[in-house]
Amino acid sequence: MKRLCGAVLLVGVVTVGLSCGGKEPTMTGPGEVKVRLTSPNSGLDSAITFTITGPAALTSAVPGAGLRLFQQPLGGTSTRFALIGQLSTGAVILTIGVQDISELTQYSGSITGVALPNYNLRPLPGGYALALTR
């Protein structure tokens, strides 16, 4: 009888555990968002300009490893950035601070230019994209 009660209790706990929550916990308040690049020319580009737009001003911006960041002052709902350095697909090119991480889906990034090491601009969109994730 004790084994049966233990088994029923274990099944109940597992069932409740599996039915709770989604993929990610719901969070509110300040947080960080990673900006990842998708590029058809991974490692062959040396500069990118883009704009991040969202419901509130960004609180911080930190470039990815090996990249140099130029930006307009943070404030307002749209901020322009330029990064110089070797750009690789899938790499985090920028980490931004947001006022409320629960509004992540309201933030977006649009690429305005990509340059080769010889400063020639690539035609856009050309397979380039930005992804904003936690």
How confident is the model over 25-31, as a mean pLDDT? 82
How confident is the model over 104-132, as a mean pLDDT? 95
Query: Reduced to 3 states, what is the DSSP secondary structure of residue 19?
Result: helix
Q: What's the domain range around 124?
A: 24-133
Query: Reduced to 3 states, what is the DSSP secondary structure of residue 17?
Result: helix
Count of structural domains, the chain: 1
The pLDDT tens digits of the residues spanning 74-100 come to 999 999 999 999 999 999 999 999 999
Whole-number mean pLDDT of the chain?
87
How confident is the model over 119-127, as a mean pLDDT? 91
Residue with tokens 């931004």: 96
Nearest to 35 by CA among 90, 105, 78: 90
Asked whether residue 99 is domain-assigned, the answer is: yes
Asked whether residue 105 is domain-assigned, the answer is: yes
Sequence-ordered list of residues with C-beta below 8 angstroms from that of 2, at least 6 positions apart, any chain: none
CA distances from 68 to 49, 51, 62, 63 (A): 12, 16, 9, 7
- Can you give the pTM of this predicted structure? 0.79
Asked whether residue 6 is domain-assigned, the answer is: no
pLDDT at 16 > cutoff 50? no
Asked whether residue 70 is domain-assigned, the answer is: yes
pLDDT at 24 > cutoff 70? no
The domain that holds 66 is classified in CATH as: 2.60.40.680
| pLDDT band, residue 27 (cuts 50/70/90) | confident
pLDDT at 61 > cutoff 70? yes
Q: Give the Cα separation of 26 and 9 in Å (integer).
A: 28
